[in-house]
Structure 1
Amino acid sequence: MDTKVITAHVPVPLAEKVDLLANRLERSKAWIMKQALAAWIDQEEERHKLTLEALADVDNNNVIEHQSMLDWAQSLDTDKSKSVTS
């Protein structure tokens, strides 16, 4: 696989944590950084997908009224919790 070097300045405490993890896991700092960057990108891609799905729900008027949510939340402290209705 082709690779490309990416340089980033990070705070010293963060760099020291990377060093400690690399030593503890017996992995290179580069491996730690690749794992961390890949996990962050996966998380951001999932967040973007979920945001687009939520916006599509709003466009399709698939929403729940604010008062219905308040009623539901307040019912959680009672013996008979309500269901959420749109």
Structure 2
Amino acid sequence: MSNRVVTAHIPNELAEQVDQLAARLDRPKGWIIRQALTSWVELEAKRHQLTLDGLADVDVGRVIDHASVAAWAKSLDQPV
């Protein structure tokens, strides 16, 4: 796999946290940032897929009306 350098301006406090993590884990800062960025990209891909799945449900009518959800939420306050 080839690599490419990506530059980003980040707040000093975040940069210091990366420095501290790198020192504590005895890893290069680049490794810390690559791990974090990989996790975030994977999370965003999952969120996007869940959004598409939800929209597909709406398209085929798999929805619950607002009144039903409101009634269910209100029932949560009731003693069992």
Total equivalences in the alignment? 80
4+ runs of 1 displaced by more than 4 Å? none
> In 1, distance between residues paired with 2:64 and 2:37?
36
Q: Which has the higher helix share?
A: 2
The structural deviation recorded for 1:79 is 3.3
User: How does the TM-score come out when normalised to structure 2?
Assistant: 0.95
Q: CA RMSD in A?
A: 0.9
1:40 aligns with 2:28: no
Number of the residue aligned with 1:15: 15
Higher relative contact order (CA 8 A, sep 6+): 1
Number of the residue aligned with 2:27: 27
The structural deviation recorded for 1:78 is 1.5
For residue 2 of structure 1, what is the amino acid of its counterpart? S
1:13-39 deviations in whole A, cap 9, x for unaligned? 110110001011111100000000000
Q: What secondary structure does 1:31 align onto?
A: helix
Equivalent residues in 2 for 1:30-69, closer than 5 Å? 30-69=30-69
> In 2, distance between residues paired with 1:10 and 1:55?
34
User: How does the TM-score come out when normalised to structure 1?
Assistant: 0.88
Instruction: List gaps (5 residues or longer) in structure 1.
Output: 81-86
